[in-house]
Amino acid sequence: MEVSLLGTIVALSVAIFLILKKYSPAYGMLFGAAVGGLIGGLTLTDTVSVMIQGAQGIMPAVLRICAAGVLAGMLIESGAATRIANTIIEKLGDRFALLAIGVSVTILTAVGVFVDISVITVAPVALTIAQRLGYRRLSVLLMMIGCGHAGNICSANPNSIAIADAFDLSLTSVMLAGVIPAMTGIAFCWALSAYLNTKGEPDVVNSNQASAGSEGELPGFFAAIIGPVTAISLLALRPMAEINIDPLIALPVGGIVGSIAMGHFNQIRHYSTQGLTRMGPVCIMLLGTGALSGIITVSTLRTDLLALIEALSLPSYVLAPVSGALMSFATASTTAGAAVAANVFGDSLLELGVGGLAAGAMIHSGATVLGDMPHGSFFHSSAGAVDMQITERLRVLPYEIAVGAVLAFTSTLIFGVLSIF
């Protein structure tokens, strides 16, 4: 069974069109996969079979993502995420206010909070600081988004889990592979945001947009970080002591330990329920992603991309970041883009002699380049976090693409050009 390039293009185009029309991304990708398979030359029976096989391949990641809901729910619902962000911003002070805003989003994302939730969590405090210091919303939002993506490539989030599963890697190794590119991305984003803050028309935050928010009964800082530290420590046992504790176990244990440390043992059921509610849409989206990846897997897209790379005399490892960027553009999601690219192009990269960790790291960073397109939910949720209109939000897009490109370039330099690991 083979799907033509035309069928693949139709599948991606239909998915993008439906997502732009506000259909569920899962349904958009399911319908796109079905139409693409039929136009690409498969029978209806074969199309359904390939879609199911693709969805089955993503199921291990879906299970681990469901388990991660315990940790994510604890961090968000208990106020631990807000406490961590506020503490970082308070400690770094006004002199490094932009950096503090970015680092707080990075750390929240890295410990397992979705990047959109991290931005929404930090935004009220960030806007209050921006109002006091006269910062532009464009600079503040760019700092949060860029540093959020930096944290996302070294996180315990669904994208990392999907990469780890696709290449049979430990989640810890995938997280560590993103650390150096993340640090480079944060530095670049800080410099770019500071520069943009001095350029263009004034767009300072006004009193109606800023809100300090109420800290209420937030937990202490050390109690707030015990949960994610526990989860990361358990995951780190595999590379450090050859003790393999799967994310399916480590992530919920971190959520339970964090709940107990904050004295919220009786809230574990609530935290896990809320966490699963937040993870549910991602899991459903990934099933659609799997169906679409099944069609792309049996298509000629891989060979066509490889032929193009060869015709341009580019090294084979370039396929990794390029595929990550293309798939994230099609799905308007870093998570879905990383999952599709890893499942579709992973075997080809391994056959070309690219190591599993290197391929996974380059796909992962490549998926941050074009994952914030307007047909995705993150574009709109991040705009709402700082009260931006769509036209205003579009002005940020080229700069966040630049930050993603720096992440991808750094990762490709380390894992592709220099082959350090």
DSSP class per residue in 213-280: ----SPPPHHHHHHHHHHHHHHHHHHHHHS----HHHHHHHHHHHHHHHTT-GGGHHHHHHHHHHHHH
Per-residue model confidence (pLDDT) at position 25:
87
The partner residues of 3 in beta bridges, in order of sequence, read: 299
Name beta bridge partners: 204: 136
Cα–Cα distance for residue pair 283/276, rounded to 1 Å: 10
One digit per residue, the tens of pLDDT, for the chain of length 421 reads 789 999 999 999 999 899 888 888 889 999 999 999 999 999 999 999 999 998 998 888 888 888 888 988 898 888 888 888 888 888 887 788 899 999 999 999 998 888 888 898 888 888 888 888 888 889 999 999 999 999 999 988 889 999 999 999 999 999 999 999 999 999 999 999 999 988 766 565 655 555 544 455 788 889 999 998 898 888 888 777 778 888 889 889 999 999 999 999 999 999 999 989 888 888 888 898 889 989 988 888 888 888 898 898 899 999 999 999 999 998 888 988 999 999 989 999 999 999 999 999 999 999 999 989 887 788 888 888 888 888 889 999 999 999 999 999 999 999 999 987 6
At residue 51, the pLDDT reads 94
Cβ atoms of 241 and 27 closer than 8 Å: no
Helix (H, G, I), strand (E, B) or coil at 367: coil
Is 285 in contact with 26 (CB distance < 8 Å)?
A: yes
Q: Write down the pLDDT at residue 90.
A: 85
Sketch the domain layout of the chain as residue ranges.
5-204+216-417
Given this model, what pLDDT does residue 213 score?
Answer: 46
pLDDT at 209: 52
The pTM of the full predicted model, rounded to 2 decimals, is: 0.86
* pLDDT in the model for residue 139: 92
Of 418, 61, 377, the closest CA to residue 247 belongs to 61
Q: What letter would DSSP give residue 300?
A: S
What pLDDT is recorded for position 266? 92
